[in-house]
Each structure stands twice: as structure tokens, then as C-alpha cells.
């Protein structure tokens, strides 16, 4: 009888021990499962393309700019899209020419390839269809107005510049609503003038973003653009930042450095479309990031690879009024065009 009681006590102890062991095992298993779920979610966030976006249903690759010999094998060209006429211009720093493409992405005209216009850095098109270029000619920066054939019809001399812009030498230019917006990227300076060159307003960016005078060259603008409302958009790669400067001088920054979705590796070109979405290319991550008008990150597209829909070191960027985004690349991959499909927002 005594042995039986001892056996029962031992059995109870074993049962209690087993129950405690099972509870510990269940707790351990639950924690392990939770850790695995967290790791899986983290992996998906880091390595799965981020595509959800309010207002944009889908992004799809459409085509590359081409001529009758095939795709344009250019790299790191500057792009300007004439939104009124849906023509695309590219400034090729290697061939030193300007190519014009129709709304279907086919080359229709080339000029400047004879060297007569000097070393062209950027261009824009005014409301009459005149092409306005910035060029380095005989070691002097000039703003030249050309007709639709690329034939010079005059120069634009900047007038009444303030003393702080007396040595202003722009290398980027955008026409919007009767005004010329010009940037000297290495000095972080912007000047706004009318089509006759009459100075209207200037912006010294450095103090706005807390850059010391002796650090201007180290913080030069990479991308420069003017949106539909006259806001000036620009990027500074070394800061991993993009900026929006309003005409009244209010400045906002957005973006942050990183390697995951929504972050900047080496941010470069910047543009916006007629719906207010902002596009920033990233050379290192090989994507284009999309932000809404509130400067909130929405999605990315492109991604590194050799397929036509991929991007390799994307640089300059522009948009048209039909939902197309034009992206220049390195590695002689030319200019890729992507279509934005908007939802009804």
C-alpha cells in the first residue's frame, strides 16, 4: 500500500513536470513562430518591390526612345519634355548634340552635332516653341534662343542681377509660365527672369539648408525642376535629401538615406507630373521613387537588372501630361519611358 502511495505521488510529480514542460514548450514554440514571422515580414519589406500607392494603380514600362537604327544608346543625358507639344529633347554630353523625339518616342531631328553651339548643358522650350539652351561657348556661359530647327535667333542677356549674383553662371534651365528658372548647381543659387532676361527674383539656397559658404561645392544640386505651381524642386545627393522651394522662399525637405524602399542611396534627378506626384531617381538603388504632393513616399519602380523594364544608374527624369515618366540611364541604356496608371482620387 505504501509503495502504491509513493508510486501515485511520483506519477503526480511526473504529470506536473510534464505539464510544465509542455507549457514551456508551447511558449517556446510560440516565441519561435513569432520570431520567424517577424523575420519573414522584414525580408519581404526589404526585398519585395514596394508597389502600393494611393492614387497610382500601376506602373508599367512602355518603351525606350529610338531612331530608325534602333534604341538610342545614350547615357546620363539631360531630358526635357515639351508638355504642350509632347516632344522630348535630350542633351547628350558625350556627342554634344540635341536630339528631338516625337510623342511615340521616335527621333525626328538632331542639331548641334557640328559643334557650332558649343558645349550644351541644358535646354528648355518656351510657349512659342523656341528652344532656349545654356551652353559653354569659348569658355563663356551663354543663353541662346534657337528656332524649332535649332538655328540661333538671338541671345538672352541677364539684366539687373543683384550683387550676390553678379558672377551667376547657370547650368540648368526650366521655362514655366513666361519665366525662366535658372540654377547654378555648384553654388546653390537660383535666378528667375523673364524671357528678355530681366531679373525678377533670386534664391540663395545654402543658408536655407544650413550649408556654409565654404561647403557649397560639396553640396551641389544634382537634379533641378520647376513644377506646375512654380515650386522649385532639387536634390542634393550627399545629403540624401530632396527639397521643394516655393516662390515665397518656404523650403521643405523630404527623403532619407538608406537601402530599403522609400530611402535614398544616391538620389539624382527630380520631376513632377500634372497631378502633383514627385519622382526622384536613385543611381545607387536603381529605382525611381514616387512621392505625393504632401511629400509622402508612395512607391518605387524600375529596379536593377538587364531586362527592358529595369534601370541601370538612372539619372535625369521628366514627365509629360499623359502619365509618362522619362528616365535617362547609364551603361548606354538610353531613355526608358514608364506609364503611370492613376486611380480616381
In the chain, domain spans = 1-48, 52-342
Asked if pLDDT for residue 53 goes beyond 80, the answer is no
Q: Tell me the percentage of the chain whose pLDDT exceeds 90.
A: 80
pLDDT band at 54 (very low <50, low <70, confident <90, very high): low
Mean pLDDT throughout 87-103? Answer: 94
Q: Is the pLDDT of residue 241 over 50?
A: yes
Average pLDDT of the segment spanning 195-212 = 97
pLDDT of residue 28: 42
pLDDT > 70: percent of the chain: 84
The pLDDT assigned to 38 comes to: 34
pTM: 0.83
Confidence check: pLDDT of 51 > 80 = no
> Among 15-24, 210-219, 302-311, which stretch is predicted with the lowest mean pLDDT?
15-24
Which H, E and C letters describe the chain, residue by residue?
CHHHHHHHHHHHHHHHHHHHHHHHHHHHHHHHHHHHHHHHHHHHHHHCCCCCCCCEEEEEEEEECEECCEECCCCCCEEEEECCCCEEEEEECCCCEEEEECCCCEEEEEECCCCCCCEEEEEEECCCCCEEEEEEECCEEEEEEECCCCCEEEECCCECCCHHHCCCCCCEEEEECCEEEEEECCCCEEEEEECCCEEEEEEEHHHHCCCCHHHCHHHCCCCEEECCCCCEEEEEHHHCEEEEECCCCCEEEECCECCCCCCECCEEEEEECCCCCEEEEECCCCEEEEECCCCCEEEEEECECCCCCCECCCCCEEECCCCEEEEECCCCCCEEEEEEEECCC
Q: What is the pLDDT of residue 287?
A: 98
CATH code that applies to domain 52-342: 2.120.10.30
Asked if pLDDT for residue 139 goes beyond 90, the answer is no
Instruction: Give me the chain's average pLDDT, please.
Output: 87
Confidence band for 90, pLDDT divided at 50, 70 and 90: very high
pLDDT at res. 33: 41
pLDDT at 87 over 60: yes
Amino acid at each position: 500500500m505504501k509503495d502504491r502511495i509513493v508510486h501515485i505521488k511520483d506519477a503526480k510529480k511526473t504529470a506536473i513536470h510534464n505539464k510544465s514542460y509542455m507549457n514551456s514548450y508551447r511558449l517556446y514554440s510560440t516565441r519561435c513562430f513569432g520570431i520567424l514571422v517577424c523575420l519573414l515580414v522584414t525580408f519581404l519589406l526589404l526585398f519585395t518591390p514596394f508597389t502600393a500607392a494611393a492614387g497610382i494603380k500601376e506602373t508599367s514600362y512602355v518603351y525606350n526612345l529610338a531612331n530608325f537604327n534602333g534604341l538610342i544608346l545614350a547615357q546620363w543625358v539631360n531630358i526635357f519634355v515639351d508638355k504642350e507639344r509632347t516632344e522630348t529633347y535630350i542633351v547628350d554630353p558625350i556627342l554634344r548634340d540635341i536630339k528631338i523625339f516625337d510623342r511615340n518616342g521616335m527621333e525626328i531631328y538632331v542639331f548641334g552635332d557640328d559643334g557650332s553651339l558649343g558645349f550644351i548643358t541644358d535646354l528648355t522650350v518656351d510657349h512659342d516653341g523656341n528652344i532656349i539652351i545654356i551652353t559653354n561657348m569659348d569658355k563663356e556661359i551663354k543663353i541662346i534662343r534657337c528656332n524649332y530647327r535649332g538655328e540661333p535667333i538671338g541671345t538672352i542677356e541677364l539684366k539687373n542681377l543683384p550683387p550676390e549674383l553678379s558672377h551667376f553662371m547657370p547650368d540648368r534651365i526650366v521655362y514655366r509660365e513666361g519665366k525662366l528658372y535658372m540654377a547654378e548647381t555648384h553654388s546653390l543659387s537660383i535666378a528667375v527672369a523673364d524671357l528678355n532676361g530681366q531679373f525678377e527674383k533670386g534664391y540663395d539656397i545654402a543658408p536655407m539648408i544650413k550649408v556654409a559658404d565654404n561647403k557649397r561645392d560639396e553640396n551641389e544640386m544634382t537634379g533641378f525642376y520647376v513644377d506646375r505651381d512654380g515650386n522649385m524642386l532639387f536634390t542634393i545627393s550627399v545629403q540624401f535629401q530632396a527639397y521643394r522651394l516655393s516662390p515665397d522662399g518656404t523650403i521643405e525637405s523630404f527623403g532619407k538615406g538608406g537601402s530599403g524602399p522609400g530611402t535614398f542611396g544616391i538620389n539624382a534627378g527630380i520631376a513632377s507630373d500634372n497631378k502633383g506626384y514627385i519622382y526622384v531617381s536613385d543611381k545607387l538603388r536603381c529605382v525611381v521613387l514616387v512621392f505625393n504632393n504632401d511629400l509622402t513616399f508612395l512607391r518605387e519602380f524600375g529596379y536593377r537588372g538587364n531586362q527592358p523594364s529595369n534601370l541601370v544608374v538612372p539619372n535625369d527624369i521628366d514627365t509629360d501630361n499623359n502619365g509618362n515618366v522619362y528616365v535617362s540611364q547609364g551603361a548606354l541604356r538610353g531613355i526608358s519611358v514608364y506609364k503611370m496608371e492613376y486611380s480616381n482620387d
